[in-house]
A and B are shown apart, each in its own frame.
Chain A
Amino acid sequence: MAGGLQRSRVVRAFLRNRLGVAGGTVLLVCLGSALLAPHLAPYDPYRLDLAHAFQAPTWRHLLGTDNFGRDILSRLIYGSRISLLVGVVVVVFAGSLGTALGLLAGYLGGWLDLALMRVVEICFAFPFLVLVIAIIAVLGPNVVNVIWVLGLVNWPFYARLVRSHVLALRGREYVEVARALGASDARIMLRHILPNSLTPVVVASTFGIPQAILALAALGFLGLGAQPPTPEWGAMVSAGREFIFQDPWLITWPGVCIALVVLSFNFLGDGMRDALDPRAQRV
């Protein structure tokens, strides 16, 4: 009962935040277009039509065509699939790994905590994008490598976040009570501490997804992410760069898509943080 009330308070607080709702709406539209891409896209995103290359926006091609005569709108719609998928998978991967390790380190302490925190420190000592670029350069550029390298480089962030919350919760009375009642360590961690440490993880994930999307686009732009002819937004900007004089629209549209999605996630994240944790500072 109390849980229901709490939930409705959070939902109402979120709905009052207009920018958050706007961000969420844009993302729902984007998710819809990603799921329904084959039905929504007017053309096959890979179909070449050299006779109609570099077309300006027309009724036939709402956003025009690229250097191979491919329909830009269709490619953007299919591109949303890759960006959203990578963003979500990276955050789920990094978030669960980081949460699990942070929970163990914070609760058990000792050498595990010490070792894990050193690893986290070392990971934070690298400029994030530089490390990602270098690992992908060695492993070879493709989307699957991007996903797991981004996940592998991002988990320390979640681990540190969860650990700090676990440290604060570990000494709470209700945890002591559970232990006195004979609850096992595993049960205390999973039933009593984990659920109370998840809110910051959820908020951090909302900001983590756009970070991953930006990183994917940047890697695509450098030729280290999705490879042509895959309709990935960053790779599309990279391909359009050659024709920056001839047809500036080629690089404009994918950039607008990336910025719009990232902006929406940032608004959504702000709204969720304010709704879930009213005491949190707005910075």
Chain B
Amino acid sequence: MLRYLTRRLLLMIPVLLGITFIVFALLAFAPGSFVSLMLSSGVVNPDAVARIRAELGLNDPWTVRYLHYLGALAHGNLGRSIVFDQPVAQQLVQALPNTLVLTVAATAFALAVSMVAGTVSAVRRNTLLDYAAMLVAVGGVSIPSFWLGLMLLLVFGLGLHWLPIGGGGVTGGVSGGWAFVSHLILPAVTLGAELAALLTRLVRNTLLDVLTEDYIRTARAKGLAGYRVVSRHALKNALLPVITTVGVQFGALLGGAVIIETIYSWPGMGLLTVTAIQQRDLPVVQGAVLVFAMCFVLVVLLTDLMYVAVDPRIHYE
């Protein structure tokens, strides 16, 4: 296990270098001078531009600048926000917990829905229930998330007044358990809908395969009740592909968060990114992309490790 972990971590080095280089290149090779963006007041004094270019080391070759960028990253320095004139890292630290809460809640929602719906579909195969679940599942991957978000907001927020239409979050100044949860429900459901649809199909098809295995027949022959056979024996084995899919799809979840957070004004990294783009605050965008990618890489690593925990047959040596 330790050897596997070490090798896995070593293999991450080229990927991390690649990520940082792409993120660096986003701004380094961007058309339009970074400095003229900073001096966006419109009064561009050539002397001032030259001075700032020299101060920021923008006249150095890009290799040197990339190394400087890596050095700054190693010190936790992600640059400064142009609009707010504060460290990008500070803004990201405030936003990150909210995005994590949202994505974890969305994953939990997707898992809960898909476990129930997928199991019911598989056990009641080719019944009306099965068809209904599959129809919703295919619909779930076809409906644009921003549209679903607006529709839920229209119905449950503006129409029925059951749930708040925006705001909230860990750092959003919302106090009390229900207030926090109620703000979280609509964004989490919207974000998790596509994953729920994907996983429902996956759980159903995996279960259908597993249910024909010998050990399931044995369990039934022992006289185990039907639901126990499914819950104790079959679902456990259907879990492995679900874990892989959740890991791979976490990237889509992070991307979706950018859109969902914008709709519900959820104060996470997505809202931060979109706001920064509107204000042309590119250092913030750059920092956010880096943190998004790092989160994804970590989650993929965690899913790989979780494999070992769930399936004792797998040994990484």
Q: Which residues of A contact B (CB under 8 A)?
A: 118-119, 121-122, 124-131, 133-135, 137-139, 210, 214, 217-218, 221-224, 234, 237, 241, 244-245, 248, 251-252, 254-255, 258-259, 262-263, 266-267, 281-283
Contact = CB atoms under 8 A, between A and B. Distances in A.
Nearest to B262: A222
B237 to A, nearest CB: 16
A254 B153 CA distance: 17
A2 to B, nearest CB: 33
Given A125-B297, A126-B293, A134-B26, A241 B252 contact: no
B143 A259 contact: yes
Given A221-B259, A222-B262, A237 B147 contact: yes
A203 B22 CA distance: 30
Closest 8 CB pairs of A and B: A129-B255, A122-B18, A255-B147, A263-B142, A127-B254, A127-B251, A137-B277, A262-B142
Given A119-B18, A126-B296, A127-B296, A138 B142 contact: no
9 contacts: A126-B22, A127-B296, A137-B282, A217-B146, A222-B259, A222-B274, A259-B139, A267-B138, A282-B205
A133 B277 contact: yes
B150 A237 contact: yes
Contacts of B293: 125-127, 130-131
B296 A255 contact: no
Interface stretch (B84-92, B121-129, B284-292): B284-292
A137 to B, nearest CB: 4
Contact of A118 (B14, B150, B254, B288): B14
Contacts of A129: 252, 255-256, 258-259
Contacts, number: 144
A263 B153 CA distance: 23
B144 A214 contact: yes
A126 B274 contact: no
B81 interface: no
B146 A126 contact: no
Contacts of A254: 147
Given A135-B26, A138-B26, A218-B259, A125 B19 contact: yes
A137 B285 contact: yes
B285 A258 contact: no
Contacts of B205: 281-283
B181 interface: no
B292 A130 contact: yes
Given A127-B252, A224-B277, A122 B144 contact: no
